A and B are shown apart, each in its own frame.
Chain A
Amino acid sequence: MGLMEKIFGAGWGIHPADRKRPAADIPLRRIATPSHLYVPLQQHIGAPARPVVLVGQKVAKGQLLAEAQGATSAAIHAPRSGTIVSVGDITAPHASGLPVAGIAIEWDGEDRWHEPDDLPADPFALAPEDIGRRVAAAGIVGLGGAAFPSALKLNLGKRSGIHTLILNGGECEPYLSCDDRLMRDFARETVEGIRLMLHATGAREALVGIEDNKPEAIAAMTAAAAPFGEVQVRPVPARYPMGSEKHLFSTLTGKEVPADGRTTDLGVLVHNVGTAYAVQQAIRLGRPLVERIVTLNGGAWHAPGNCVVPVGMLVADIVTAVGLKQDPARLIMGGPMMGTQLPGTFVPVVKGTSGLLALTADEAAAGEAQPCIRCSSCVRACPVGLLPLEMAARIRTDDYAGAVDLGLKDCIACGCCAWVCPAHIPLVQYFGHAKGELAARDRAKLRTDATKRLVAARAERLEREAKEKAEAAARRKAERAAQKAAEAAAAAATADRTTEES
């Protein structure tokens, strides 16, 4: 940390109005289960899960629907008991509105959990690897938004010498309060989940970073963590994007993660507090991740607040259950800064859904994009220290390599630059576009390389076949020659005999 930062405080980030209350203060509600649930097979980073159920099959709540396939993947479980109606495509909760494979379940009206087979009497007596295995089996993914399979991160602990666990309770996005509510209402469970994670990773201490605009959550967590010295609650200043793992890390430890590195390189693993709770539920009660707390906020909702929502419940069903005051100008899944604008309401809630924002026209007001005046507001706001205006200018002229040179790959797409931009330039969309374009080019490159290998293999095959053919021809020729010789010899022998006889 430089001297300037010591005196004037860290310069990165922005301070949007948090708009978390009153939704955050309303007690948690359970939402009525709808008649049908649509569970996507890919709710995580990595390969989609492979279905293991058949249409018409009856499943219990928490029963395995699809197993993880590949190194990076996560299992999917039935959010409610019922009958499998179909396995097919559903609209993904994604700005593109493209379909994703999923399983539709018709709810049978009961609330019957699938019986777990081997509940440990004392979870802390389990081997650390066993915790990782159970977390993977429960299909737990990072609940902070990226939805990276948690078991992979936990198993990383032993290998890369993790000494500290950071629990991300920053929840820096405006409007959202699902982590806040979780920490207030389930502080004891969350702390137990944190201790289980410590056990699984072999880390010595856990720091729970909570933004100071959530005093109730800080109080609840401090009280719950008091008996356990290894779990420390650390309030951090409210500032967006405090919930970014690298920023929470540097705020708590005073160190900075290198540009192309991860916090694990420095022996620190970052998990969301929601993930800790899910781990506790999975290990202690054998309950896989099938429902989560979702913040319903924004001016268009009738009753904003936090609800426990089963994974796979359609946004349309939530709208029916909670009610809208008016047609929302924008319907966003996640936070207003990094969330996804939904293509419609026929979209299911997934494991990574932190909130559903129904914003009124006033709240969603976005100005028309105007030319850049090079005011450099975005440079000051960028939490990663990039030059958003320069990168966007290069991307606009298709100079993607130039944008990468300026650090495009370090962009965390937090949206600070676009938020401060007085010209309303959609900077984040530029960066999203460029990242996608670069990924597509990398894929094309891989494909070209694969084609080259295939062409070489074909050339080799043709050569081999030609050789074999030539060899076979030569063999046949030799055989024929031998046969002819034999025949000639036989003929000669007969001739000899006849001459002898005559």
Chain B
Amino acid sequence: MIAAVLSLTLLGAALGIGLGVAARRFAVEGNPMVDEVAALMPGSNCGQCGFPGCPGAAAAVVAGEAPPTLCPPGGKALAAALAEKLGIELDLSGVVDEGPKIALVAEEICIGCCRCIKVCPTDAILGAPKQIHNVIREACTGCGNCIERCPTEAMSMQPVPMTLQHWVWPKPAVA
């Protein structure tokens, strides 16, 4: 009886100490995966995914709490990149990529209040007090933060029109 208790205790203690030493030796600061995943994300911290900024979203994706398709501005391309990074099987056929959208100012309603400018994560809105604002198309990420801030509903999200340069052959339908 004593032999059994003693041997198990000793064995457990020895293995525990060994593992403790190994844990020190192979300690990893944070989760390197999270940093790698965060590097893939747009980094605009727009909050459309419902997580606190891109680092938060990255942590959630790595932890498996969110699907790789969580990022609307990143679209299909980001989803595929994330899935590959995390080794997750991803069925993109179900994902409806509505295509990129960008904000547009209705110039006849804009009162030049500058509220949207303050929330734009990429400084994509050009304007000054009492001047009609405008969106720099190339810089807009389509996060939609400005929409709710506009007191006159002059901001709206519009799909980026399809051009010859962006057109992609549709995938052949499988018979």
Contact = CB atoms under 8 A, between A and B. Distances in A.
Whether A and B are associated in the same complex: the answer reads: yes
Interface of A: 42, 92, 94-96, 98, 100, 368-371, 395-396, 398, 400-401, 425-426, 429-430, 432-433, 436-437, 439-441, 443-445, 447-448, 450-452, 454-455, 457-458, 461
A187 to B, nearest CB: 36
Contacts of B77: 440-441, 444-445
Contacts of B76: 441, 444
Interface stretch (B6-14, B145-153, B165-173): B165-173
Contact of A452 (B43, B81, B138, B171): B43
A395 B172 CA distance: 10
Contact of A433 (B138, B139, B168): B168
Contacts of B170: 429, 433
B169 A433 contact: yes
B42 interface: yes
B78 A100 contact: no
A454 B168 contact: no
B156 interface: no
B172 A430 contact: yes
B35 interface: no
B164 A96 contact: yes
Contact of A369 (B75, B138, B172): B172
A436 B168 contact: yes
Nearest to B90: A398
A154 to B, nearest CB: 26
Nearest to B173: A369
A65 B166 CA distance: 26
A211 B163 CA distance: 37
Interface stretch (B26-34, B108-116, B118-126, B127-135): B118-126
A44 to B, nearest CB: 12
Given A98-B162, A445-B77, A451 B44 contact: yes
9 contacts: A100-B164, A368-B175, A433-B172, A436-B167, A448-B42, A450-B138, A451-B42, A454-B122, A455-B43
Nearest to A92: B164
Contacts of B92: 398
Main secondary structure of the interface of B (DSSP, over half): loop
B123 A444 contact: no
A447 B42 CA distance: 8
B117 to A, nearest CB: 11
B36 interface: no
B175 A369 contact: yes
Contacts of B107: none
B80 interface: yes
B45 interface: yes
B75 A444 contact: yes
Interface of B: 40-45, 73-78, 80-81, 84, 92-93, 120-124, 138-139, 141, 162-164, 166-172, 174-175
Contacts of A96: 162, 164, 167
Contact of B121 (A370, A400, A458): A458
B125 to A, nearest CB: 11
A100 B164 CA distance: 7
Contact of A455 (B44, B81, B164): B44
A443 B73 CA distance: 13
A396 B175 CA distance: 12
Contacts of A452: 42-43
Q: Which of A98, A400, A430 has the most CB of B within 10 A?
A: A98
B77 to A, nearest CB: 4
Contacts of A426: 172
A395 B171 contact: yes
A401 B167 contact: no
B93 A398 contact: yes
Q: Which of A92, A444, A450, A452 has the most CB of B within 10 A?
A: A444
A56 B175 CA distance: 53
Given A98-B164, A100-B164, A398-B92, A457 B123 contact: yes
Contacts of B169: 95, 429, 432-433, 436
Contact of A437 (B41, B42, B121, B168): B168
- Report the 4 A-B pairs with minimum CB-CB distance, sorted nearest first: A436-B168, A444-B77, A454-B122, A432-B169
A370 B40 CA distance: 39
A451 B141 contact: yes
Contacts of A439: 168
B60 to A, nearest CB: 18
Nearest to A98: B164
Contacts of A400: 80
Contacts of B141: 447, 451
A133 B175 CA distance: 52
A433 B164 CA distance: 14
A401 B84 contact: yes
A174 to B, nearest CB: 22
A83 B170 CA distance: 39
A458 B138 CA distance: 15
A432 to B, nearest CB: 4
Nearest to B80: A441
B163 A98 contact: yes
A437 B41 CA distance: 19
A489 B124 CA distance: 51
A448 B41 CA distance: 7
A96 B168 CA distance: 9
Given A369-B172, A454-B139, A42 B42 contact: no
A94 B170 CA distance: 14
A356 B167 CA distance: 23
Contacts of A398: 80, 92-93
B57 to A, nearest CB: 13
Nearest to A433: B169
Contacts of B138: 450
A398 B138 CA distance: 28
A69 to B, nearest CB: 15
A226 B74 CA distance: 61
Given A444-B74, A458-B121, A429 B172 contact: yes
